[in-house]
Each structure stands twice: as C-alpha cells, then as structure tokens.
Structure 1
Amino acid sequence: MRYILTILTFSLLFMGCADKNAFSKFNMQPDQELSAASLQGSKIKMGKDVEGIFSAIYLNKVYPNVYTVNEYFYVYLYLKNGKKMHDTNTLDEIKLTMKLNDKLPVKVKKLDAKNQFSHLASVNSEWRRYYLIAFEREDKSEINLVLETDLSSSDALTYQKDEE
C-alpha cells in the first residue's frame, strides 16, 4: 500500500508540471487550416511500382483575395529518379507534365525548400521539389490536376471551386 501511495504521489507531481499537451500543437493560422483542407496527394505509379509521391495545395482556396486571375497550385513532389518538371517556356524534352483538365500550365516556377508557402505544408525537406504552378482560369466548378511522366501518371486530384 505504501508503494502505491508513493507512485501515485510522484505521478501526480509529474503530471502537474506539464505545461503543454498534445492539443497545443493544433493552434493553426487560418491559412494553414485552409491549406490542410485543400491538400491532396497521390502516388505516381508505373505499372505496380511507385515512382514517386505528388501533393498539391489549391492556393485559390487558401488565398482567395490574392489568386483571382488564374488557377494556382503549390505543388511538392518526391521522385525516385531525378526527373524535372516540364517548363512550358523551354523546348527541352518533357520529363514531367502537370495538367489541369487536360491543359498545360501557363507558368511553372521552381521554389526553394524554404519558400513563402513552406508554412502551409506540414513537412518540408531538401529532397522534395517545390513548385508554384499557374493554369488559365477554368469556368468549371470541378477541376482535375494530374501529374504525368513519359511512362506513368498520378491519380487525378479533384478540387471543387467556390461558386462566385
């Protein structure tokens, strides 16, 4: 009985000293909450093999007052081999192609691992590639974003646009 009382006393002392708990990690800024709701991801498959992972945040939902002209996405991906995103401004061989409703982007900007959108993603690392990608404005209420390589493709990430 004496041992149980001693253990209980020390347990109460240690629990009373904790000033943080798991719920302290859930304090998010409004843009982080919107990005968590907008974040979608897909595996890039070639047959049964996984070639990489691709994730996107629809920035028009996160920053509706900033991104009004075109459809903007913050994309980050990991690929097993070192393919690069196709830039519509160059004539290089297409390695990776991002399409929104089967249309190519109007702008592809490669970003550093630490960039203005880093706080929107829960994980940032040097081995991922980060892009800001813009597409022409779509009139459809549902848009599908797909990443394709020469031999493989991701599943379509489907986003619902807000009614204007």
Structure 2
Amino acid sequence: MLGRYFQIAIRNLLKNKGTAVLNIAGLATGMAVALLVGLWVYDEVTYNRYHRNYDTIADVMMQSTYNGTVRTQPEVPIPLRDELANKYGSYFQRISLSTYPDKHVLTYGDKMLIKTGRFMQTIPFADFLVDIPVISGRRAFHYDGHRGLPGAESGDDKPCT
C-alpha cells in the first residue's frame, strides 16, 4: 500500500513538473530559513554562557545626543567607574573598564602579536571576569596597581595559550 502512494506521488510530480519544483523549492527554502532562525535564537540565548558568572555580568553603555541624533555606544567616560562605585555600589560588586577597539601589540619574549580588539583593565579580581577556558598551560594574573596584562607570573614555565 505504501508503494502505491509513492507511485502516485511520482506520477503526479512528473505530470506537474513546474508546480512540483516550485513546491519543493518553497519547502526547502522555508525549512532552511526556520533552521537559520533557530540557530540565531540559540546563539543569542546561549551567548557567553561558558562564564561561571554570566548571569551577574552587565555591560554599561552611554547614550548621547549629537545634532538631534541619539546614539548608544559602549564607550563610557573613565570617571563613570568611580561614580558607579560610589552611588550604585550596592548594585555592582566589581567594576572594570576596557579599552576602545583598536590595534594592540602583545609581546612575550621575542614573539610579537598585533591584534584588533578590546583589552580589559587588570584588576585584583580579573579572574572573576575573565573566565576563559585555557587550552594549555595555566592561567595567572598579576596586578601592579594601575597597569599590566594578564599573563604568566614570574617563574611560570609555560604561559596560557
């Protein structure tokens, strides 16, 4: 009985080729779009969930008006950090700043790497914010008061990669 259904379906496909191609193409397109939308929603819902504190991390943005145009941007003035800590300290356990996306040079020994991106201000709790899985070596942070990059502490044989 099932064989008869397939035989009738193939006979109708061959009889109405134009309609069949249009229907199959529409079905394939619809399924592809539904799959892409599903993947997009999954990516948005699971973004940065690898971080152990993902549900308590916030990104503060600044909204400004220039010539009647409202613009929202991730860049905030540096004094805002102290203002957030003083006025809204009960909402924030830790506050950190990062650089504007630009070309940065990272060096380790005689090796140099130039990449475009943001780099986070090093702070005593950097390990709380930077919860990146380490492939090899061990992750260690140092803090020299104002500046410094996450990397190998003195005496480390192998920095993280």
Q: TM-score, normalised by structure 1?
A: 0.28
More strand by share: 1
Q: Select the structure with the greater relative contact order (CA < 8 A; seq sep ≥ 6).
A: 1
Structure exhibiting the larger radius of gyration computed from Cα positions? 2
Q: TM-score, normalised by structure 2?
A: 0.28
